[in-house]
Amino acid sequence: MPTFNTTTDTRAKAKIIAKNLEMRFENKQLFSAEELVFEQNRVIHLQGDNGCGKTTLMKLLAGFISPTAGTIQAQGFSIAPWWRSNSITGKAIYLHQHPYLFEGSVMYNLTYPLRFLNGDKELLKARTEQAIDKAQLRHLLTQAASSLSGGEKQRLAIARAWIIQPKLLMLDEPTSNMDKHSQQLVLQMIVDLKQQGTGMLISSHQTCMLTKVCDHAWLICDKTITSGNISANQDMTNAHIDVSTRLNVSIG
């Protein structure tokens, strides 16, 4: 049976650790992995061909799905309320390439999560104003979020995450629907979050300007996940990965 656990240590980085995982669907093994560590102050490029299991892995770390076996532990977070059955849900924010947006205006979508946050309201208001300008959404604030283009929706979702300043953030093919201008806007917000200590897992099957801010890589190739460091200013395509972990993975 899979198990979930949350521990709090104010001295430690926030992290999610997955160990001895096994994923099966209808008796078909999807993948297994010995250990993965996703933590603050680390930006990881999750690489692999389309269909290799990147999205499934991210949903697993987000707590949206449960493994067939293994443990997933969250450290450095507040203890989850008793009524939340999966204690890792909500620890890492997950943004799909087609992000979920609420009905209502762009401004409503930007400000909706703020009512659930504990913190300086004036600071959150100031961050909201900054995010509006960083994502160049000011002329769209009264427009229905559902009417935005694919790239505008992505900018809105990432701006919303930028306001929240999460400890861990996962981005699934974040620039797939964007032109170069939108990519530049998103890149600056991602660089800001990196400087603020947010740990990020960025999924992309190809190198782009966004993946070049990554300092670590997880590569799904030939049914194996290889993880390691990336040298500074090195092109991801030709980067030499200093392998620290090899995880036996079978992907259907």
Query: What is the distance between the alpha carbons of residues 240 and 34, in angstroms, rounded to a whole number?
Result: 22
Q: Find the distance separating the first CA and the last CA of the chain, reported in whole Å.
A: 22
Q: In the prediction, which pLDDT does 32 show?
A: 77
Average pLDDT, the chain: 81
Q: According to the model, what pLDDT value does residue 148 have? A: 94
Rounded-to-integer distance, Cα 109 and Cα 112, Å: 5
pLDDT tens digits, one per residue of 121-179: 888 999 999 999 999 999 999 999 999 998 899 999 999 999 999 999 999 988 877 88
Length of the chain: 252
SS3 86: coil
Q: What's the pLDDT at 141?
A: 97
Tell me how crowded residue 6 is: count the other CB atoms within 10 A of its CB.
19
pLDDT value at residue 232: 46
pLDDT, tens digit, 9 for 90 and up, residues 92-136: 999 998 888 999 999 999 998 888 887 788 889 999 999 999 999
Contact in structure between 158 and 97 (CB atoms under 8 Å): no
- Structure tokens belonging to residue 1: 């049976």
DSSP 8-state class, residue 169: E
Of all residues in the chain, the percent with pLDDT exceeding 70 is 81
- Residue 87 tokens read as 């204690």
Helices and strands per DSSP (H, E), number in the chain: 5, 11
* Rounded Cα distance, 79 and 133, in Å: 34
Query: Bridge-partner residues for 16, per DSSP?
Result: 38, 74
Q: What is the pTM of this model?
A: 0.83
